[in-house]
Amino acid sequence: MGFSLTGEALETLGGLNTLVFDKTGTLTYGNLAVSDIISLNDDLDEMDVLNMVASCEKLSEHPLAKAIVEKAKDIEVDIEEPKDFKMFPGKGISCKNSYGLVYAGNSKFLSENNIDVNLDSKLDQLKHEGKVSIILALNDSIIGLIGLSDVIREDSKSMIDSLHELGTETVLLTGDNTETANYFASQVGIGKVYGNLLPQEKLDWIEKLKSEGKKVCMIGDGVNDAPALKTADVSVAMGSVGSDVAIEAADIALLGDDIGKIPYLKKLSNSTLFTIKANILISMAINAAAIVCSVLGLLNPVTGAIIHNAGSCLVVLNAALLYDRKFDDSIKKIDTENLEHSHYHFHNDGEHSHSHDGIKVIDEIKTESGVKHMHVHKHALDRQSCEAYHN
């Protein structure tokens, strides 16, 4: 089925009325790409900025850090080993290298380290483009900005729409700035958005929602989501891109990262709870009727035993009907002869060696080195028929 869960989690999921999402790696692919490298110091060029921040991010497991290090490796930057590396979850990191004491993170993190941040116009431009920004400081002054782009999963909006049709409220909690969070939320249809959150603040929001009498499911993938995942009534982790900590903390793991399965799980859980309650009523009604018939002398021990066992069989058969119900309208169907396949690739604009014939290009990201976009095209399941699109 593409997911793992316990019976308790499935039962609890049916009573939920609020689903809370993280953004990166959940509603988006988490395949971040460095789109902007901005130097704010006349003595440092863009390569210096990239080298400095890549050195600082080299030991971090955060998706933003991995994207920056990957960018540096792609253009063959010799990444320096950091010293005195420190990570501050939800804020940023610091380290020492040949340039000096380097800070990389959000404006709140730099302000806490007594570094003046006055970049509103440049930050606003990146935010309005839906990009994540990392501010870079050397010693006690700002020296650069890194902008990163992410791509929304193509089934995120349909998944949110399906949840709304089921009467479920959706909320976005993210560590990204509020403007970027609002941009992505507007694309998928989530109305309630809370940005600039630390891991503890995500946990506080989950507790606040629960204190309002809501039954909450948290869906996330990162280390920063683990406390909130553990606190929610039910939690779902993205199995492929999720961190080990998040998967361990969650009750349900989506093994293929297909978030289209979330409405499916909700429908299955709703029907399971309905069937459980119906079976209880059926068995109680049969037993009550049998008691009355016994008192009236209409049943003897043999017929009473037959009715008792018949009632048990009826309950089991009713439960077995769950296997034949169709809840998978929101799950991607795999047609081995005409597979719709999405993948990322990077190439310098106009210099690609693969074919663009008969494909749909979506979510194009322009960077200084070229263009990154996603292909959607159809082909048979075997790789050979798709080789022309992967070169």
Per-residue model confidence as pLDDT tens digits over 172-185: 998 887 888 888 88
Spatial CA neighbour of 374 closest among 114, 89, 155: 155
CATH at residue 160: 3.40.50.1000
Which residues are part of the catalytic machinery?
A: 22
Model's pTM, two decimal places?
Answer: 0.63
157 shares its domain with 195: yes
- Please check whether residue 90 is in contact with residue 128, taking contact to mean a CB–CB distance below 8 angstroms: no
Residue-level pLDDT at 193: 92
Of 212, 232, 262, which residue sits at a domain end? 262
In whole angstroms, give the CA distance from residue 81 to residue 371: 29
pLDDT tier for residue 352 given thresholds of 50, 70 and 90? low
Q: Is the Cα dihedral 252, 258, 259, 263 positive or negative?
A: negative
* Number of structural domains the chain divides into: 4
299 shares its domain with 364: no
350 shares its domain with 294: no
24 shares its domain with 172: yes
158 shares its domain with 243: yes
The pLDDT tens digits for 197-234 are: 888 899 999 999 999 999 998 888 766 677 888 888 88
Indicate the helix (H) or strand (E) that contains 261. Answer: helix 261-295
383 shares its domain with 245: no
Selection from 9-18, 102-111, 262-271, 380-389 with the highest mean pLDDT: 102-111
Please indicate, yes or no, if residue 334 is contained in any of the structural domains.
no
In this predicted structure, the answer to whether residue 389 has a pLDDT above a threshold of 60 is no
135 shares its domain with 54: yes
18 shares its domain with 160: yes
Block residue for tokens 């663009």: 356
275 shares its domain with 186: no
Q: Which domain holds residue 363?
A: 339-389
Q: Is the Cα dihedral 25, 27, 32, 34 positive or negative?
A: negative
The pLDDT tens digits for 118-148 are: 877 788 788 777 788 899 999 888 999 999 8
Residue 331: which residues within 8 A CB-CB, separation 6 or more? 2, 258, 260, 261, 264
Q: How far is CA 239 from CA 132, 247, 252, 294, 341, in A?
A: 24, 7, 9, 55, 20
171 shares its domain with 279: no
Please indicate, yes or no, if residue 333 is contained in any of the structural domains.
no
CATH at residue 45: 3.40.1110.10
Residue 215: which residues within 8 A CB-CB, separation 6 or more? 12, 15, 16, 17, 18, 233
